[in-house]
A and B are shown apart, each in its own frame.
Chain A
């Protein structure tokens, strides 16, 4: 049952991505509407999957790489829907839907068995730490998608009025993601002090979270204080999201440390 739900969500997002792309390429609103409803369906399937998995595991389903990847995709899906509803436009979906599909595809290659949670993860800080990480990564990923969208639109037409909107939204997403990432790091510090007696141990995951935080802090400084915007910031958002992906996938795969179990 769980597998059916998971792969249905994967397939739904794949179809939604293709339909959205076709709709955007040929500027057919009707086709894009289908993609929108499919993305809602994909999100609903993913939500049901996570709820059922959580019930079966008797915990928040975010305690290993597979579960976090699924939650990450869910977070991007949620933010995409919220943006769509707020903006009443779909231009962010053309990049966001394939991104969600890719994240779920990555999750599909990971072991899906439900394991007993290890004692170190049995903490009240777990939900805050991991939950905020999901929203932080999701916001950064979506901001990266906005960056790609910006560059594509910019190359087509430099005077496109949508560009300012796109740029501003990317900034707002990064501001939100930055706040969430700060919550991740600080809640992690408090949790680490309770679990390991030290609030910071320069573990690779911690270090890369700090690197990501510094990169986005630089983005925000450049934007707010120096006034950088537009194409420069779009490239910045894309490059920064690579760092987020390394913190998520690369650190767990290539570097060992206190977060290796994750």
Chain B
């Protein structure tokens, strides 16, 4: 029973079954939106929403059954790659024996020498036995399949490890301000721009990082696709936005507020200013109404605040330009020029896993190359003729040899 189970676990049939199940899960995961709130599924899929939530189709790639499938695939890969290594080595060693025992197709002696010359020109090596000569090449091709399966196993393992041990944190930092991470690392944004020197869109933050040991980095540019590693963290240019900058004076005390999200600014809990958002530009329509713009042109930057004043249970929606002040009770709010902020993603991971993962990637490419484009070929020549052996389909080399023999025949007949 145990042997039967082990045999099934290492069989290609089981591997194929797992691939089909992973394929089905992937298909469902691409059709059903992933990670949304339950209410969204109820709205969008009405009668199917219960089934979606019950089967965990809303988070299929994190579901227990999908992870189980991946684990089973790992087990299958362990069996079919590592445990088959012995067979692979044996097959590679037995290639010569198999070639030596082949029954040869007849070839006229006068053509044989010319054909052998052609084979040598194709970078074949020679192995002589008592009764025959075996030309061979690409013996390393035997290990292609092993490398592919092993690298896939490594990719799954190291990929899972790098995902599990990595943590990310997104923080918005106003230009000129700093943020402190939980481990004491301090990030300061010295500058931020959304256009490069040629006027093309390219988000770039200049960061100054002080790690938890007090080491200070040089001011370094962080751009999309160009993260910056320092002090055990990796910093990514993730997003950007415009933050409202409001000075609040209450009881003679002045507080600067940087607003990246909507909030109610109040001193007594009832009266105050509701801050919604700040926009980089606006236009005045023909009827005098103002329309805000989410993006601003290269030459136009006219920020405007969307707010509401709430006083004595009366709410008045409105807009405010920088420089405008509102007095609500004893509180004075002044809207200043808003400030750009970059959204920085801080990732902490174990570099070893990433290194191993990328090595596995390289191993897989090398394995596939060996598997399909470095096919082992043996060509046996003896007194009776020649025979070709390969563990894989080798139609092209057979055609080449036949063509070479035909060429030899033609050349001999010309002579």
Binding site for B on A (CB under 8 A): 116-120, 122-123, 125, 164-165, 168, 171-172, 175-176, 178-179, 182-183, 186, 189-191, 193-200, 202, 204, 207-208, 210-211, 214-215, 217-218, 221, 223-226, 251, 255
Contact = CB atoms under 8 A, between A and B. Distances in A.
A116 B16 contact: no
B23 A215 contact: yes
B390 to A, nearest CB: 12
Interface in B111-150: 145
A89 to B, nearest CB: 12
Majority SS of interface residues in chain B?
helix
B364 A168 contact: no
26 contacts: A118-B201, A119-B202, A165-B399, A168-B395, A168-B396, A175-B372, A179-B365, A179-B369, A182-B368, A186-B361, A190-B361, A195-B225, A195-B236, A197-B238, A197-B345, A200-B159, A204-B30, A207-B30, A208-B26, A211-B27, A211-B30, A214-B26, A218-B20, A224-B392, A226-B12, A251-B30
A211 to B, nearest CB: 5
Given A164-B395, A197-B234, A218-B16, A182 B372 contact: no
B321 interface: no
A251 B133 CA distance: 55
A209 B20 CA distance: 15
A204 B360 CA distance: 24
A165 B395 contact: yes
B37 interface: no
B395 A190 contact: no
Given A179-B369, A199-B159, A207 B29 contact: yes
Nearest to B369: A179
B61 A221 contact: no
B354 interface: yes
B225 A197 contact: no
Given A164-B395, A197-B347, A202-B29, A182 B223 contact: no
Contact of B368 (A125, A179, A200): A179
A218 B19 contact: yes
B138 to A, nearest CB: 14
Contacts of A171: 393
A197 B226 CA distance: 11
A45 to B, nearest CB: 30
Contacts of A117: 200
Contacts of B238: 197
Contacts of B224: 119-120, 122, 195
B185 interface: no
A111 B371 CA distance: 41
Contact of A211 (B23, B373, B392): B23
Given A175-B372, A199-B162, A194 B23 contact: no
A197 B236 CA distance: 7
Given A176-B372, A218-B16, A221-B16, A202 B201 contact: no
Interface in B245-285: none
B203 A119 contact: yes
A189 B162 CA distance: 13
B26 A122 contact: no
A176 B202 CA distance: 36
B396 A172 contact: yes
Interface string B298-332: 00000000000000000000000000000000000
B56 interface: no
B361 A207 contact: no
Nearest to A205: B30
B227 interface: yes
Majority SS of interface residues in chain A?
helix
B357 interface: yes
B202 A186 contact: no
Interface string B24-36: 0011011100100
A122 B224 CA distance: 8
Given A168-B395, A197-B238, 7 more contacts: A178-B368, A179-B368, A179-B369, A182-B365, A197-B345, A199-B159, A202-B34
A120 B203 CA distance: 10
Contacts of B29: 202, 207
A229 B369 CA distance: 22
Nearest to A210: B26
Given A171-B393, A197-B347, A119 B16 contact: no
B181 to A, nearest CB: 15
Contact of B227 (A125, A194, A200): A194
A122 B202 contact: yes
B296 to A, nearest CB: 16
A182 to B, nearest CB: 6
Interface in B20-70: 20, 22-23, 26-27, 29-31, 34, 61
B225 A119 contact: yes
Of B163, B226, B392, the most chain A CB neighbours within 10 A belong to B226
A214 B392 contact: no
B200 A116 contact: yes
B14 interface: no
A183 B202 contact: no
B168 interface: yes
Of B162, B236, B372, the most chain A CB neighbours within 10 A belong to B372
A221 B395 CA distance: 18
Contacts of B225: 119-120, 122-123, 125, 191, 194-195
A124 B168 CA distance: 24
A244 B201 CA distance: 32
A236 B284 CA distance: 61
Contacts of B365: 179, 182-183, 186
B395 A186 contact: no
Contacts of A186: 361, 364-365
A182 B364 CA distance: 8
Contacts of B396: 168, 172
B226 A194 contact: yes
A211 B26 contact: yes
Contacts of A225: 12
B291 to A, nearest CB: 25
